[in-house]
Structure 1
Amino acid sequence: MGKTLNQLVEELKNGDSSVFGQIYEQTYRKVYFVVINILHDKSLTEDIIQDTYLKLMDSIKHYKERNFLAYLLTIAKNLAFNEYNRRKRVILVDEDLDSFRSDSISSSLEIDAENRELIEKALSVLDILEKDVFLLHTLENMTHREISVVLDKPIGTITWVYQKAIRKIRLTLKEDYDEIPRI
């Protein structure tokens, strides 16, 4: 007779990694069905399952619960929901960002040639991240929190990058204007 899941988990917790395959075999289908029902994508589901078992291996020493399957499925659900939310919130994919950067000024604002030149000059001093953050915030009216999700950066970084972009733009515009409009 084979060992129970709880016995295998105890052995894994005590450092016997040879039982991992048996744990995997006993739990894979349940983990798969939980994740596929959240993500509805087989390839992504396989990635999340792999991450689930990697996270399990990293955290097994700290496992104290009695219901191992609930613990494992909670890891899987959390990873799947995180991935689902990350993908749901991504408004612009990478290749769209390039066209967004170049088209955003002309499509979002009706401006004359002189002002267009000035805006392009101001934006030219920004690096790619600064430009993305600035345009997403000012033209798309996204919050810093939304931008942090889209660009997969901490909110503190987004806030700092935005402030840095504003300072650079103001310095650039100062050369052409005595009084700089509030951005």
Structure 2
Amino acid sequence: MSVIKKDIKLIEKHLREGDESAFKDLFQMYYDRLFGYINGYTNDSTITKDIVQDTFIKLWSNKENLVEGKSVVGLLYKIAHNIFIDNYRRDMQESKMLDDLAYRKVLQLSDNNEDVKEARIEQIMLAIENLPPRCKEIFTMSKIQGIKYAEIAETLSISIKTVEVQMGKAFSIIRNQVKKSSVFMLFINFFIGKK
């Protein structure tokens, strides 16, 4: 058995017993490796630092549940990955909620002004027309024809995840095109005037 394997087994044993110095040793040995692993997903050092820190905190908080014979290092990576996935899902949900709120606010504020409403619809339709073909097809099926993601996936012989990714891409492209347009400035001026 190598020195490193022997050391990690000893660290794991002491960690299960609640030894803080074993935890510090584990932290020093695996912080950089875990940082590199998670940063490969996030490409954002600030987010990565938070996830790695949360990972070590969660491991320490649950040290009494560590099972002898199960790799603490493997658990460390699993915890980090799960935290990343949870954060990603939360961020996607928050983004969707903000998009929905912004969309409803735009509708509410522009409902009383037909010129703004028509310009907005025209700009959005133009943005939809300029979507990449597959993205446009999926967006049209979902938002214009009202077909559920599962049905779109089945009809096009693709995964639901692909439908979700294409819908996210469509919303991003549409949002960016509308923001770059003079219509967006018209909306801003209109909204500021409403305050």
Q: TM-score, normalised by structure 1?
A: 0.51
User: Greater RCO between the two (CA within 8 Å, min separation 6)?
Assistant: 1
1:91 Cα shift? Answer: 2.2
Map Cα deviations across residues 143-172 of structure 1 (whole Å, 9 max, x no partner).
Answer: xxxxxxxxxxxxxxxxxxxxxxxxxxxxxx
**Separation in 2, partners of 1:18, 1:67:** 18
2:64 pairs with 1:53: no
Decide whether the 8 Å contact of 2:18 with 2:63 is kept in 1: no
1:14 corresponds to which of 13, 17, 23: 17
**Separation in 1, partners of 2:9, 2:107:** 57
Partner residue in 2 for 1:79: 83
1:101 Cα shift? Answer: 6.6
Decide whether the 8 Å contact of 2:11 with 2:26 is kept in 1: yes
Partner residue in 1 for 2:40: 37
Map Cα deviations across residues 73-116 of structure 1 (whole Å, 9 max, x no partner).
Answer: 0000000111122223322687x898667543133x4689xxxx
How large is the RMSD of aligned CA atoms in angstroms? Answer: 3.2
Partner residue in 1 for 2:186: none
Runs (5+) with no aligned partner, structure 1: 113-140, 142-183
**Separation in 2, partners of 1:69, 1:83:** 21
Amino acid at match of 1:66: K
Runs (5+) with no aligned partner, structure 2: 115-145, 147-195
Q: TM-score, normalised by structure 2?
A: 0.48
2:109 corresponds to which of 106, 109, 132: 106
Number of matched residues?
112
> Relative to total residues, which structure has the larger helix share, 1 or 2?
2
Spell out the pairing of 1:57-72 with structure 2 (5 A cutoff): 57-64=60-67, 65-72=69-76
Spell out the pairing of 1:150-165 with structure 2 (5 A cutoff): none
Give secondary structure in 1 for the equivalent of 2:95: coil
1:18 Cα shift? Answer: 1.9
Map Cα deviations across residues 103-143 of structure 1 (whole Å, 9 max, x no partner).
Answer: 43133x4689xxxxxxxxxxxxxxxxxxxxxxxxxxxx9xx
Decide whether the 8 Å contact of 2:39 with 2:48 is kept in 1: yes
**Separation in 2, partners of 1:102, 1:84:** 25
Identity score, percent: 23
**Separation in 2, partners of 1:99, 1:76:** 32
2:31 pairs with 1:28: yes
